Amino acid sequence: MDEGEMMEAYGDGNGVPALFLSDGDVQCYQNQLWELLKELTYGFTMGDSSSLPVETANELVKSAVFCIGLYLKSRGESLAHYAPIAPGTVAKLFSGGRQTVFDQIERGKAQWQAAIDTAPPVDSISYWDTLREIGGFFRRYDAKYLAHEIPCAIDYPLCHAVPERYGIAYVREYLRRLQLENALCARFSIDSVRQLLACHWPTYREDLINICEPVFINAMGLCLIGKDVFSLSMTGTDKTDLFARFGSWSADAAKQHMQNALHRLLDALGLHGGCAHSYFAHSANDLFVRMASLGFDGFFNLFVTLDG
């Protein structure tokens, strides 16, 4: 659930739902949200306190709205579906939302385990620290009162960062993308991957370097010139060849060649399915933009020649 969707549930940040609700429905929604907040406060303070700092109350509201938004999204609905807002609507949506969060936690745990199981055996500190942190997330995550928070440090950079999201939704999307990247890297020999990383960025173990991106770039380069993608190594001659070819294509032709290469690459790697194609189509587009903007030297350095 991204911020736009959360705002659709929460509104303009002042408890006022956006769009499609009448003034009367807005008032009903606010009143019911207020009643929900009173219940949450009682639970959060274990009945010990009748008042809260505004900041804490805000966080409880954000959490509740996150849950409601997650529930609506899971059902393909919006608040407008519930207009006019009947008594008990917000409580019902929140209850559904809380259950959705709990369900997502279980799925997230399974995704996390799968990410560990499929992780490329590359000694990247940030990669493994991040996986450990995500394990800690499931211990620290307060699904009842602070479901919008992400109590862990996720430093390892993906090929494509998760757009701003909240709570378990962010973590699940991060793990989904990580698994796609793992799947791509797993198609190549680990020695080739390690060698490529070492040639691409000698201090990759210590630095925040994405493992999948240089693998994908080289594989695409090889695919574009019709060479064996599994070698993972672009020689100087290969780079010169690719530069010449790319330079001779019109923009439209280059995009078409990139799309075709992507299809061939994913087919060769046995990565079928819309999710992989969609994700790596994004990578292919990014690669196209970089290739189109680079001169020969930059182009040459974009692809990696494996030593030996």
Partner 1 sequence: MEGFSLAPLDALRLQTVNELRACNDVTLGFGLYLSERQMQNIAQRRWETLIDMGRVELGEGLLTMLVLSFCDSPFIDQNNYEDTLIALVDLFYAFKAESMERLADDELIAFMKERFDGVCQGSLTCLYDSVLWGLCHEDKDDG
Q: Give whichever of 15 and 96 is closer to partner 1, judged by the CB atom.
A: 15
Q: Name the β-bridge partners of 165.
A: 2
Check binding of 116 to partner 1 (CB under 8 A).
no
Question: What six digits make up the tokens of 274?
Answer: 């819309």
Tell me which residues in 19-38 interact with partner 1 (CB under 8 A): 34, 37-38
The one-letter amino acid code at 5 reads E
Among 43-51, 100-108, 123-131, 233-241, which window interacts with partner 1 (CB under 8 A)? 43-51
Among 12-20, 93-101, 186-194, 202-210, which window interacts with partner 1 (CB under 8 A)? 12-20
Q: Give whichever of 33 and 105 is closer to partner 1, judged by the CB atom.
A: 33
Q: Which of 9, 10, 171, 210 binds partner 1 (CB under 8 A)?
A: 10
Nearest to 33 by CA among 56, 64, 3, 8: 64
Q: Which of 9, 21, 28, 61 binds partner 1 (CB under 8 A)?
A: 61
Q: How many residues bind partner 1 (CB under 8 A)?
A: 23
Question: Which residues lie below 8 Å from residue 199, measured CB to CB, with a gap of 6+?
Answer: 304, 305, 306, 307
Question: Which residues lie below 8 Å from residue 285, measured CB to CB, with a gap of 6+?
Answer: 258
Nearest to 150 by CA among 160, 138, 162: 138
Position of tokens 């060698």? 195
CB 72 within 8 A of CB 9: yes
Check binding of 58 to partner 1 (CB under 8 A).
yes
Check binding of 87 to partner 1 (CB under 8 A).
no
In the complex, minimum distance from the CB of residue 61 to partner 1, in angstroms, rounded to a whole number = 5
Residues lying near partner 1 in the complex (CB under 8 A): 10, 13-15, 34, 37-38, 41-42, 45, 48-58, 61-62
